[in-house]
Structure formats: C-alpha cells, structure tokens
Chains A and B, each alone.
Chain A
Amino acid sequence: MPGLLKMPRRAALLPWTFVGLLQLVLILLQLAGCLLSPCLEVIPSKAFRCMGLNISGVPPEVPNTTQELDLSFNNLKSLSSNYFSSVPELQFLDLSRCHIHTIEDNSFVDLHELSTLILTANSLQHLGSATFYGLTSLKKLVLVETGISSLADLPVGHLHTLQELNLGHNSIASLKLPKYFSNLTSLRHLSFFSNKITYISKGDLDALREANRLNLTLVLSLNNIKYIQPGSFAKIHLGELVLRSSFENFHDMHTSLHGLAGLQVNRLIVGEFRDSLKLEEFQNGLLSGLCQVQMQEFVLTCFRNFENDTDTLFNCIGNVSSIRLVNVELEEVSEVPMFPQVKHLECKRCKFKEVPAVKLSLFKELRVLRITQSKHLNSFRQKFKNLTYLEVIDLSENRLSFTSCCSPQFSGSANLRHLNLSFNSDISLTGDFTNVKNLLYLDLQHTKLDNHGTYPVFLSLQKLIYLDISYTKTHVKSDHIFHGLNSLQVLKMAGNSFENNKLSNNFKNLSHLQTLDISNCKLVQVDQSTFNALSELKELNISNNKLLTFDPVVYEPLQALTALDFSHNQLSVLLDSALEILPASLVYLDLSHNLFECSCSYLNFMKWITEKEDLLQNKHLMVCHTPAYMKNLSLSSFYLFSCRPNPGTVACSVVILLAALVFIFLIYKYYFQLYYLLVLLSGCKHSAERGATYDAFVIHSSKDQEWVIKELVEPLEGGKPPFQLCLYYRDFLPGVPIVTNIIQEGFLSSRNVIAVISTDFLESKWCSFEFDIAQSWQLVEDKAGIIMIVLEEVNKTLLRQKLGLSRYLRRNTYLEWKDKEISKHIFWRQLTGVLLQGKEWNHEEEKLM
C-alpha cells in the first residue's frame, strides 16, 4: 500500500520534469540558433561575412546581389560544379581555412565578375584543368598554404586578367615557370614566399623573358636557395625582385647572387628578417655578383656584423642610383668606390655613432641623403664637403647633439634645399647659414635648440619657405627673431614660449606667411598690432593657449584666413564685433574646449553658432563652462532650450494676451456693474453718513419723461405733504460720470426708488442697469424699497424677455397706472402711502395680481 500511495505524487512530478526538460531543449535550440546565426551583413545586400559559422555551403539568406562574401573558417570540404550559382555577382570571395580538399571542375564557372579569390589554408589535393574556368575577371588569386608542390599542374594558364598570384607557404621545389606564364601578361605580383625552391636553373624563367615585365614583383624570400645558375635571369626585366632570408649561408648567397647576372630590375631587395638571421656576418665580396645586375634601387635589410673598413658593401652597387640600408648594423661607411653614381642614399636604423660625413662626401652625385632612426647616432663632428648636387638631408629621429649649426657642416652644398634635423637631442644655432643660404625647408621640431629666441638666427635664410621649430624649448625674448625670413610661408612653432606670455611684434616682416602654428605656447595676451603684416595668412593655429578674449582689432588684418583653430583657450564669448571681422574666406573654425559663458545676453553669438553648421569644427565640444548648473551642456542645445522662444512659452504668452484682451473687453462691457461693485464695497459707509435728501429716486426712460413730469412730479412735489423726488435730468450733477450720479445722487441720497416700467424702460440699457442696482441695493442695504409702476401699454412679450424684471414683478406687488380717474385716485393714495411710510416701510402692499 505505501507504494500505491506514492504513485500519485510521482505522477504529479512527471509533467513538471517534462516541462523542465522541454524548456531546456528549447533554450538549447535557441542557443544553437544563435550559433548558427545568419551571416553578418556588412554592406546591405552587397557584402556578407559568414566567418566561422560552421556552415557547409553558400547560406540561402545571402542574396544574389552579393558582391563580397566571406565564408572563411567554415566546413565546405569540397566544391562541386556551379557551387556559387546563387551569387553570380560576386567580386570578392574568401574561402580561407574551409577544409576544402577537392575543387571540382567548373566550381566557379558562374563567377564572371569575381576579381579576388582567396583559398588560403585549404589542403587542396587535386586541381583539375577546369577548376578556375569562368573566372574571366579574376585579378587576385591567393593560394597560400594550400599544399601545392608543383607549378606544372596549376590550372591558371587561362586567367589572362590575373594580376596577383600568391603561392606562399607551399612546397614548390622548382621555379620552372610553365609556358602559360607568358600568357599572364597582366601579372604584377608573383610570390613564392616560404617555399622549397633550392635551385634556379637556366630556362626556369623563360616565360617571363618575352613580355615586358617592368611591373612584375617576384618574391623568393624564405626559400632555401643553394644555387642560381648563371644566365637564369639573363635578359629578364623585372619591376622588383625580393630575396630575403633566401640563402642558408654566405657561400650560397655569394654564388647565387652571381647567378643574377644579366638581370635588369627596378628594385632589388636583399637581406634577412630580424628574427631569422641565417648569415652570421657580412663578408667581403658578398654582393660582388650584383656587378652584373642592372638596377635602379638596391635595398639591403637586416644585416649584422660588418667587418669595418675592410668590407666592400658598395663595390658593386656604386652605380645604383638609389640605395637603402634598413636595419643594417653598419657602424661606419664602407669603402666608397671611385665615381659612385648613387643619387639617393638612405640608412634607417643603422649603427652609426657619428654622422659619417667625410665618407659620404665621396658620393659626389648625391641628391638625397637620409640617416634616420639610429639610436646610437649622437655626434656630428665630421663635415660634409662639396656635395654640389645635394638637395635633401634628413637626419631626423636620431640622438644628435651638436653645436654651431648649420653652415660649417655643409660647406659646398649650395643646392641644399631641404634640411631635416627634427627629433634629435639638442642643437645650438649660431645664426650662420652662409653655406646653406638657399634652404627652402628647415625642420628642427622636437630638437632642443639651445639659447634660441634672443637674436635673429635665421637672418641669412632669405629664401626659406618652411620653418618648423615646434617643441624646441625656444623662448622668444626678442621681437626680431624671425628677421630675414622674408619668403617664409609656413611657420610652425607650437610648444614654445614667449616673453611675458605675450605675442607682440614678432611676425612683422613675415608678410608672405600662409600658415602659422603658435599652439601650446602658454600665451595669455596678444598685442593689437601682432598680425598687422599677415594679410596673406590662410591658416592660424593658436589653440591650447590661455587667451581670454578674441579682440577684433587683433584679428582684423587676417583677411585671407581660411582656417582658424582657437580651441583649448579660455574664451567666454565671441562678441558681435568679433563675429563681424571674421573673413568671408573662413571655412574652418575650431572654438571647442573654451570656457564659454552660457547666457542669453549673448543671444547673437549663440544664434550664430547654431547657424554656422559647416564652419565650426568639433561643435559638440563647444560646451558651457558657466553657470555651474549648465556645465558641459553644448552651446547649441543651450541656445535651443534656453534662449530661443520655444513653442511652450509662445503658446503661454498668447494665452495670457488673449486672457488680458478678454478681461479688458469684459471690463469694458461690464463697466457699470464693476463700478457699482466698487461702490458697493467702498461706498457703504458713505450711505450711512449721508442723510436721505430725496424721498424717491425715479428710474425712468427719457421717453417717459413727459408722463413723469405730469403724473409724478407735479402731483407729488406740489401735493401735500410735498415729496422730494430725484430726477436724473434735474438733480444729477454736471461734470460727474453718469454712473457716479446714479449711485451718489440717486440711490445713496434717496429713501425709495420708483421704477416706471414702460416699453421704453425695457429697451433702455441705463434703465435696466439702474433697476439691477436698485435690486441689489435693496438686498444689500435693506433700505431702499422699489416701487414699481407699470404703465399700461407695456408689451408683455418684451417684458418676458427681461427675465430679472418679469420674475421680480411676479414675486412682488407693483402699482399699475391706468388712465381712468378712479384708478388714478387709488394709485395716488397707494403711492403717497408708501412714500410716507418712508423709513419704516414694510412689505405690506396691496396685491393687484
């Protein structure tokens, strides 16, 4: 029985477990979906990246408009014919590391537009002759690390448009180029990087011999060439030949280079890699084979251990017009051959300790000399002599430290145009530039210039166009330091300092200056006449200073300005006068990172900022500095939110205005009532003090005046006892507003009110106003009784329209005037009775209803 008891509980548990499992499965499915997520759409409907998605074919979601498809790191295994028929517009196809071992014939046959095909790192086992059929536009074919061992079977002979064929990291042992290479006339780059080529024999390169191959680069680096048979390269013209780490030892290299005899090449690159130095050292005669090679440029890279003085580095390359030595541990310049033809010599990252000026002066034909990035190079004691043709000297990025620059070092180099001594340690200028007075470009940036700034050192450089003395620790003390630089167009002197941190007349003779960089100079003040001479200036960088103002007088002479960088200063605002003098030619203005004051009193400036969308650079970095609560709010949003009338405020003010208008209209319309209200509130006391002058105030229409005189005034004022009536035409004071009269003379001075109701009364506004007052008076003061006299000819319908009156008549008694003697008699008696009762008047009246 206990077992039976347990049964229901288990049954209840099971569905829950099931649900849990189901959820788990669902989650896993979702995750799997994520892993197999569709390709990344790099350019909509044009470029897709399906890298590493473990897919085994062209994904169906890739549309047929796709031009770039990256299928790398997938599992395609083998490509069958028409494999890419769904993407016929492909121009770029990356199949790197897709585990492809078989490519069947016509696999790419649909890809007529394809220009780049990458098959890196697929161990292709067999390529049929029709493998690359259809690729009529193919320009670049990458077959790196594909296990190719022979060129003979490579079915690329029909790819006439091919420009780059990369066969690196394969096991090709022979450079015997099959005949079809002579058809590949567009070929520009042919790489056998890191293969197993050991021997190059005569005839191997015959296929390159026929056509003009001056555009072709042939890379044979990282092979293990033991021997190049002389004549292999004879009569071959190449654009570039690269032989880096191609030889195992000195002997192999020495003999192999002899095998290059007869080669004509634009650039020959020989040497090693920094992390693969097979040759122990450079020995005499290593390059002797190059005597037989015709070349324009020779590059030697990564060589170490030169036997100083006795080596013959230049022996066979003296006639080359351009020599570059990169990462060559050359400590001194080797023996220089007679009459070298070298025009361009460069040593980058060499091991010179001193500028080898004496030996280099033997290269009489030199035009360009560069010794750069040599961290051991610190001394410049030797002097160049009579390098008549020398135009460019670049000694930048060394550790040079020397004095008396720059005439003694370059005697006889009158053609020197370009001198670069930037990024060195420290140099002192003497002001003597007599030997190099034709200089056009002088770059001294980031090299400490000792004691520079006190006197005009550049006085003799009348032709100089470009001067860079940025970050040279120059401290400008004299106004004349740029004297003599009459042709200067570019002056860069960022990161220096001026006496008293103030710019004064320092630039007065630089009237041709087009570019001036005085950023980061700790400037606090600019004199008014500073830029007076710079009418041709196009670019001014005065950023990263401490300027507080933009004085229009200072900048007004700069009428040719196109670019102005005033960022990182302490401007609070540009005043209207400053905005006005900004020249129309200005297209670049950077005012970011200033200490702007956000206030709507600078409305013009704020508005100007929002308008000059194209002119202002880094607009998002133009932010408020003060007030504190606005800090870091961008100026344009400040303007939009705070200064520009926003729709809310507009609506608000319109509503207020309308309300005011309505109010005024209401006052105009209910003037009487309001006035009365005022009187009610203020005039109560008056009434108490004032005795009742009249017995009754008669409210009547002016048209009923005749009746009033005849039937009311005459009998009442003339009768016994005589009553004093208040009549508007008689008793109202002249020169006082009617309303005042009505209140003061009529109501406040009368005990009773007699209303003569007639058709005219109903039509008169004054009458109904007076009646309204009478009613409320009666209510408030509890004093004046209203005696209603209804004339018989009153139109009943008109009466009904006057709601207040008709209601009053319905609820109260009134006298009715009838033109009969008997009725008149009763009327008089009643009226006199009421008036007589006067003060103790009560509501007892005869009802005539």
Chain B
Amino acid sequence: MKTSNALVLILVLLSINASTEWPTHTVCKEDNLEIHYKSCDPQQDFAFSIDRCSDVATHTFNIRAAMVLRHSIKELYIKVDLIIGGKTVLSYSDTLCEPGHSQLIFCGKKKGEHLYYEGPVTLGIKEIPQGEYTVSARLTNEDHVTVACADFTVKNYLDYY
C-alpha cells in the first residue's frame, strides 16, 4: 500500500512538472522541411509563424511573432545557438535595441504591452544548414532578464538554388 501511495505522489509531482512545459508548436511541416518550436521561458509561451516555409531557403523571409511582454525592452539583446547532436556548434549574438537609438519599432515597449512583429528576418549566414538540429534563441533586456526564449527543432532537407 505504501508503494502505491508513493507512486501516486510521484505521478502527481510528475504531472505538475510536465504542466510547466509549454506545448510544441509546428511552424512548418513539408516534405523536406519541418520546423517546430517550444518556448523555454518558464513564464510564457508565444506565437510564431513563417509566411512561406519554402522561403527559409532564401536569405530573407517574413515572420510573424506575437507575445505579451513580461519585462520592458528599452534594451534588447538576442543570442542564438545552433545545437547539433547536443553540442553548440555556432553562437551568434546581436543588439536589437540600444538605449537612445531604437532602430526597431518595438524597442522601448513596456512591460505588459503586446508585442507583434511582422516583417523580414535576414539570416547572417548564406543558407540554413541541412540536416536535423536545434536552434535555441534567447532575448534578454537591460536587466539581463529573459524576455523570450525558444528552442526550434529543424529538419531541413531542402535543395538550395
């Protein structure tokens, strides 16, 4: 009887833990390309889509992303890691918003505001790599707090032209 109690307890704890994980969303699901993402910010999930998945093969493609800001973004920094087989292969970081010189519309938005981005994303690399890998992106603000975080799982077997 005691073991069954323990089992119940473990089950309950597991289900609680599982519930803090956000569901995996599908961005693209085509023959040669699959992109899924999952929020890794324990505080919230967010919405993300790519206008035309096949455009991923080109240098620039349009995305839409929406979320509610839990922190203000007077300054905004992005860090992207390319993870293949559990190892970080490439790391890229950039400043999206800097104080005094907001180049992007959403810079300076405040906590609680709705953030919606619709527009082009230009990759720093010529083409996205083929194969199966994870792209982990994290946005942080002036207080080094995570504003948004997502793990993208990509299965890419597109041909480039």
Contacts and interface: CB of A to CB of B under 8 A. Distances in A.
Given A121-B113, A144-B113, A145-B114, A302 B105 contact: no
A93 to B, nearest CB: 13
Contact of A145 (B70, B113, B120): B113
Contacts of B16: 31
A72 interface: yes
A326 interface: yes
A52 B104 contact: no
Contacts of B5: 19-20, 23
A442 to B, nearest CB: 27
A245 interface: yes
B105 A276 contact: yes
B111 A120 contact: yes
Count chain A CB atoms within 10 A of each CB in B16, B104, B110 and give the residue with the most: B110
A121 B43 CA distance: 18
A24 B112 contact: no
A16 interface: yes
Interface string B1-33: 100110011001000100000000000000000
B103 A274 contact: yes
A96 B119 contact: no
Interface string B67-103: 0101000000000000000000000000000000111
B103 A273 contact: yes
A397 to B, nearest CB: 14
A723 B123 CA distance: 129
A73 B114 CA distance: 13
A290 B104 CA distance: 25
Contacts of B101: 301, 326
A20 B111 contact: no
Given A16-B1, A20-B8, A96 B105 contact: no
A302 B8 CA distance: 60
Contacts of A19: 5
A169 interface: yes
A119 to B, nearest CB: 9
Contact of A121 (B8, B12, B104, B112): B112
B29 to A, nearest CB: 28
A120 B1 contact: no
Nearest to A222: B105
A674 B114 CA distance: 99
Interface residues of B, number: 23
Given A121-B112, A121-B113, A145-B112, A23 B8 contact: yes
B104 A275 contact: yes
Contact of B119 (A31, A51, A72, A275): A275
Interface in B116-144: 117, 119-120
A142 B111 CA distance: 11
Contacts of B9: 23, 27
A52 B43 contact: yes
Contacts of A301: 101, 103
Interface in A75-100: 94, 96-97
A327 interface: yes
A27 B120 CA distance: 48
A97 B43 contact: no
A51 B42 CA distance: 14
A96 B110 contact: yes
A275 B105 contact: yes
B33 to A, nearest CB: 25
A313 interface: no
A521 B94 CA distance: 30
A725 interface: no
Contacts of B103: 273-275, 301-302, 327
B111 A274 contact: no
A72 B105 contact: no
Contact of A273 (B8, B43, B102, B114): B102
A120 B112 contact: yes
B92 to A, nearest CB: 17
Interface in A151-168: 166
Given A23-B8, A73-B70, A97-B68, A273 B111 contact: no
Contact of A96 (B102, B104, B111, B117): B111
Contacts of B117: 275
B90 to A, nearest CB: 21
A96 B112 contact: yes
B131 to A, nearest CB: 30
Contacts of A52: 43, 70
A332 to B, nearest CB: 23
Nearest to B4: A20
A114 interface: no
B111 A24 contact: no
A120 B102 contact: no
Contacts of A23: 5, 8-9
Nearest to B104: A275
A121 B101 CA distance: 25
A23 B9 CA distance: 8
A19 B4 CA distance: 11
A118 interface: yes
A828 to B, nearest CB: 101
A121 B70 contact: no
Nearest to B106: A275
A247 B70 CA distance: 30
Nearest to A348: B101
A144 B69 CA distance: 13
A347 B109 CA distance: 26
Contacts of A245: 105
Nearest to B68: A97
A142 B70 CA distance: 16
Contact of B112 (A28, A73, A275, A276): A73
Interface in A24-64: 24, 27-28, 31, 51-52
Contacts of A275: 103-105, 117, 119-120
B136 to A, nearest CB: 23
Contacts of B113: 120-121, 144-145, 169
Nearest to B12: A27
A52 B111 CA distance: 12
Contacts of A121: 68, 112-114
Interface string A374-403: 000000000000000000000000000000
B8 to A, nearest CB: 6
A118 B110 contact: yes
A31 B104 CA distance: 41
Interface in B24-77: 43, 68, 70
B10 to A, nearest CB: 11
Given A20-B8, A23-B8, A274 B104 contact: yes
A169 B120 CA distance: 22
B64 to A, nearest CB: 12
B141 to A, nearest CB: 15
Interface string A301-315: 110000000000000
Contacts of A145: 112-114
B8 A94 contact: no
A395 to B, nearest CB: 19
A123 to B, nearest CB: 12
A118 B69 CA distance: 14
Interface in A312-367: 326-327
A120 B68 CA distance: 11
A72 B1 CA distance: 45
Contacts of A276: 105, 119
15 contacts: A27-B12, A31-B16, A121-B114, A144-B112, A144-B113, A273-B102, A273-B104, A273-B105, A274-B103, A274-B104, A275-B104, A275-B105, A276-B105, A326-B101, A327-B103
Closest 8 CB pairs of A and B: A96-B112, A120-B112, A97-B112, A121-B112, A274-B103, A273-B105, A275-B119, A275-B104
Given A169-B113, A273-B104, A276-B105, 18 more contacts: A19-B5, A20-B5, A23-B5, A24-B12, A27-B9, A31-B16, A51-B70, A52-B70, A73-B70, A118-B112, A121-B68, A144-B110, A144-B112, A166-B110, A273-B102, A273-B105, A275-B119, A275-B120
